[in-house]
Amino acid sequence: MAKLTVEDLELKGKRVLMRVDFNVPLEGEKVADDKRIRAAVPTIKYIIEKGGRLILMSHLGKPKGEKKPEMSLRLCVPVLSGLIGKDVQFAEDCVGDAVEAAVNRLGDGDVLLLENLRYYKEETKNDDGFAARLARLADLYVNDAFGTAHRAHASIEAVTRHIKKCAAGFLLMKEIEYMGDLVESPERPFVAVMGGAKISDKIGIIFNLLPKVDKIIIGGGMAFTFFKAKGMEIGDSLLEADKIDVAKELLTKGGDKIVLPVDCVITDSLDFAGRKVGELREVDCAAIPKGWLGVDIGGKSISQFSAILKQAKTVIWNGPMGIFEIEATSKGTYEMAKALAEATDQGARTVIGGGDSASAVLKAGVKDRISHVSTGGGASLEFLEGKVLPGVAALTEK
């Protein structure tokens, strides 16, 4: 990439302010899943091994400008300390005299984690004054938080106006280079798999990828808006009526590139909050009766989609094929995850675009058989849309 990277920096004795994504799930007062912390470890270790004085900053949850103890980053300290084999210090705030004093006490190779950035409303408002207070802590800036790189927040965008050298960490570099290379120089056949509830979430991606891919497989709730655009009856299935014309346009532009399910699993009742469904039937997608709604792809669609994936050499997947959070309607999503793993085993390069798809391959037990699982849900979506990510654009040019 044409931006400075952490390897371009002289780190010894320098105060390095690093944006990480430690927005981890919690259970009580413990970190339930440390994968986001693990993802930052290579850059953290590199900086401290080179003698940098490392100051880490992140958000956790949505405290909306209030200091909520249950969203304290203190809970990440023992996890990170164990992962890097070194005691991590903790600051009770992220700006102010006490924090500056703690930073000034750091020696070469020391690590200090700041308290939750979103305890201040100024963070999400990209407030320049708040960013300047953060910048006072450091000589250099490193962004290794791909998961938040699509946000123009103070610790991501505005802070770079106040620090001369701003570089990408290893995780950010890996995400941008891997996904960028995949989209711009794919080995063919190149297949995109798009799922999830709403077509509105994926319109930009589909338009951006259509000229580049050989096939786009559509599943999940968004498929029913496409069916409606084709004049099919969809019963009580999820529909974005205001996106029917967009679906028609995509079908016209895409032609035989767009592959829709041929059958689906339907139910006569759904209680998503209670994780319950009523009676289930498997029917052709053109035969959904009134009062019933689609909740998963059917067996014929699984076979059809799997056959396409097994021929592919490059695959991007974002979004589940059905309501995979409920066991009875999870088969389509998990079978697609397995098909993707088999494609990888046969030499395809496969990428999961974060979010629910990442959760699905983990639950299906095939995460280690996927080429790359992105750490950023929203960021990966915007990147696939072809948008410039503020967190990347703000870094220093080489």
Superfamily of the domain at 6-174: Phosphoglycerate kinase, N-terminal domain (3.40.50.1260)
- Checking if the pLDDT of 90 tops 70, the result is yes
198 part of the active site: yes
pLDDT at 8: 98
292 contact partners, CB below 8 Å, separation of at least 6 = 235, 236, 237, 266, 267, 268, 281
DSSP, collapsed to helix, strand or coil, labels residue 140 as strand
**Pick the residue with more confidence: 18 or 359?**
18
291 contact partners, CB below 8 Å, separation of at least 6 = 235, 236, 268
Q: Is 249 exposed, middle or buried (0-12, 13-18, 19+ CB in 10 A)?
A: middle
386 part of the active site: no
Average pLDDT value for residue range 27-55:
95
User: Per-residue confidence at 76, pLDDT binned at 50, 70, 90?
Assistant: very high
36 part of the active site: yes
Beta bridge partners of 30: 27
* Strands 215-218 and 276-277, bridge-based pairing: unpaired
DSSP string, 167-178: EE-HHHHHHHHH
pLDDT at 1: 64
310 part of the active site: no
d(CA 380, CA 134): 27
CATH 1.20.1050.10 assigned to 186-384: no
pLDDT at 197: 92
d(CA 248, CA 202): 15
- Checking if the pLDDT of 162 tops 90, the result is yes
User: Residues 74, 165, 198, 248: which is the catalytic one?
Assistant: 198
**Which of 54-68, 113-127, 356-370 is predicted least confidently?**
356-370
User: pLDDT tens digit string along 281-304?
Assistant: 999 999 999 999 999 999 999 999
Q: Please check whether residue 114 is in contact with residue 94, taking contact to mean a CB–CB distance below 8 angstroms.
A: yes
DSSP string, 244-305: HHHHHHHHHHHGGGEE--SEEEEES-EETTTTEE--EEEEETT-PPTT-EEEEE-HHHHHHH
pLDDT at 390: 95
Q: Please check whether residue 213 is in contact with residue 192, taking contact to mean a CB–CB distance below 8 angstroms.
A: yes
- Checking if the pLDDT of 380 tops 90, the result is no
User: Per-residue confidence at 382, pLDDT binned at 50, 70, 90?
Assistant: confident
User: How large a percentage of the chain has pLDDT more than 70?
Assistant: 99
* Strands 263-267 and 293-297, bridge-based pairing: antiparallel
Q: How many CA atoms lie within 13 A of 228 on its CB side?
A: 21
User: Residues 219, 254, 319, 355: which is the catalytic one?
Assistant: 355
User: Residues 3, 36, 174, 349: which is the catalytic one?
Assistant: 36
Which pTM was predicted?
0.86
Q: Of 385, 382, 357, 386, which is closest to residue 372 (Cα–Cα)? A: 357
Estimate to the nearest angstrom the gap between the alpha carbon of 281 and the chain centroid: 33
Domain ranges of the chain: 6-174, 186-384
User: pLDDT tens digit string along 309-351?
Assistant: 999 999 999 999 999 999 999 999 999 999 999 999 999 999 9
E strands, the chain, where? 15-19, 26-27, 30-31, 53-57, 89-90, 111-113, 140-143, 165-168, 190-194, 215-218, 258-259, 263-267, 270-271, 276-277, 280-284, 293-297, 314-318, 349-352, 372-373
The token pair that represents 355 in the structure block: 């979010």
Q: Please check whether residue 342 is in contact with residue 372, taking contact to mean a CB–CB distance below 8 angstroms.
A: no
User: Per-residue confidence at 270, pLDDT binned at 50, 70, 90?
Assistant: very high
